[in-house]
Amino acid sequence: MMAEFWTIWLVSLSFGLYIYIGWRSRVKDSSGFYVAGQGVPQIANGAATAADWMSAASFISMAGLISTLGYDGSIYLMGWTGGYVLLALLLAPYLRKFGKYTVPDFVGDRYYSNAARLVAVVAALFVSLTYVAGQMRGVGIVFSRFLQVDISTGVIIGMVVVAFFSVLGGMKGITWTQVAQYGVLIVAYLIPAAAIAYILTGNPIPQLAFTFSDIVGKLNQIQLDLGFKEYSQPFANRSQLDVLFTTLALMVGTAGLPHVIVRFYTVTNVRAARYSAGWALLFIALLYTSAPALATFARYNLISTLHNQPITEVRQLDWANKWEKTKLLTFDDKNNDGRIELTPDKNTSEITIDPDIIVLSTPEVARLAPWVIGLVAAGGLAAALSTASGLLLVISSSVAHDIYYRILNPNASETQRVFVGRIMVGLAVVLAGYFGINPPGFVAQVVAFAFGLAAASFFPAIVLGIFDKRTNREGAIAGIVVGLLFTLFYIVGVKFYGMPPWLFGISPEGIGTVGMIINFIVTLVVSRLTPPPPLAVQEMVEDLRSPAQAELPVKILH
């Protein structure tokens, strides 16, 4: 009961802080609503970007997947981290110099076409809705376990809180709330990681404990004894080609995520965008370098605690009993010998562990203090809600700014633009809640699909829009449409309709790389077969890559 007490207290305290910040940050103008008035300090924007980017998939699911897949789970670590570096160094400064509010804004103006803008809006909605589904599932999981409510109720509570500070404050409210959420999630991640590192190895620094202790060797031997492959053996669960393609899809998908890109529009200038990207990378590294260690410790502890133990004793463990009620952890004594065993064969294994519970259950398995358990729950919610709020603003701005204001009613007043934006945030929250209650997969898997869609749609359009002045609107539209449809068809077919992964065995999480390649080819070929962009657009692209600090005086060309 102490764990529940601490969880309720810490979650309520953190939610109260988020609501207070949202109230204090409320805005009335569109600049404040969409890009926080472009006045966010560099360090604060770095923390907000880190929180926006480190979603429930990073906090809840990534270490769980590494723990389950071993070496092959590092695709998420390498892909997401490498992708952020790619975005920060290659794209973010140029996009900030362009000076617009959204990715569809960039696509529409760079490719001098409202048709291109609409295609980009559709792609942004696909990516964001897929991504937000994973965040709301993460919210539901945390509430389901720690507050003893069903997942649907947990999702609704999360919806109400995130809607409050998103509707009132827009990007300004979201930004300062994300700064607070980063503080909560990073403390919640590092404290249990350090505590368990010390318990298992005598070294409280997770990264050093993982690297210089014999914990991985011990786990390798345990895995072999149970019939699994070694924990650190490469390509044990995925082919080498699939590992490569999935890592690339996650990498270039990160560089095309609209809710992360928009964060670089909130600072004062290009220089500030570069520095805030550096701060964000530092803040992200604190969690990402700890994740492999926490994954290894969690796997070691779970096997030691559960395997070959009397089922009656396991069910007397408070944490095991409560996680079993969520149906994310199951025990089934199939051979009726009174003990439960973990085996690599799903048909004979008597323990089933959902990857999404591994990080959340780790403090309980390690018997850490109840306040640490509550802190981890608050951290998981902070990670999910911080990213969900950024995604909701992308969904809102895609309709309210890029369609309503830029196409349907260019003479809309500030009051009208903000009102429509708030209405769209409300509708997006309802959609997010539906997907949280009815998710198409576990958190990191759903998020990986979003990265694949972003890789296949936005990344080529952004890269060629910056670095190839010959790319025109016909090429960009054709590339986005073909890349997005191919990737969506493959993911839906393999994931939901039982199609085999027919393209060289590439998984749905990795197919975004193929979609990206197709997009690049189609865009370049069509652009060369059709008239070049207007001279003014070509000159704008040249200016975009110059080191000058001034924003571009872009005008929409049709």
Q: Specify the DSSP element, H or E, that contains 310.
A: strand 309-310
- Provide CB contacts within 8 A for 485, sequence distance 6+: none
Instruction: For residue 150, report the phi and psi dihedrals to the nearest 5 degrees.
Output: -75, 160
Q: Specify the DSSP element, H or E, that contains 331.
A: strand 329-331
Q: Specify the DSSP element, H or E, that contains 352.
A: strand 351-353
Q: Identify the pLDDT of residue 145.
A: 74
Q: Which of 390, 347, 357 lies closest to 176, judged by CA?
A: 390
Q: Which of 216, 227, 188 lies closest to 362, judged by CA?
A: 188
Q: Which of 499, 460, 496 lies closest to 477, judged by CA?
A: 460
Q: Which residues of the chain have pLDDT under 50?
A: 554-558
With H, G, I as helix, E, B as strand and everything else as coil, classify residue 353.
strand
> Model pTM?
0.84
In three-state form (DSSP H/G/I as H, E/B as E, the rest C), the secondary structure along 65-127 is HHHHHHHHHHHHHHHHHHHHHHHHHHHHHHHHHHCCCCHHHHHHHHCCCHHHHHHHHHHHHHH
Output DSSP code: residue 182.
Answer: H
Determine contact, residues 62/54, Cβ cutoff 8 Å. no
With H, G, I as helix, E, B as strand and everything else as coil, classify residue 309.
strand
For residue 453, CA distances in Å to 63, 94, 131, 373 come to 23, 22, 10, 35
Q: What angle do CA 436, 149, 51 make, to 5 degrees?
A: 50
- Mean residue pLDDT of the chain comes to 85
| Cα–Cα distance measured from residue 365 to residue 181, given in angstroms and rounded to the nearest whole number | 25
Determine contact, residues 339/395, Cβ cutoff 8 Å. no
Instruction: For residue 547, report the phi and psi dihedrals to the nearest 5 degrees.
Output: -75, 0
The amino acid at 233: Q
Provide the CA 92 distance to its chain's centre, in angstroms: 18
The amino acid at 372: V
Output DSSP code: residue 64.
Answer: H
Output DSSP code: residue 402.
Answer: I
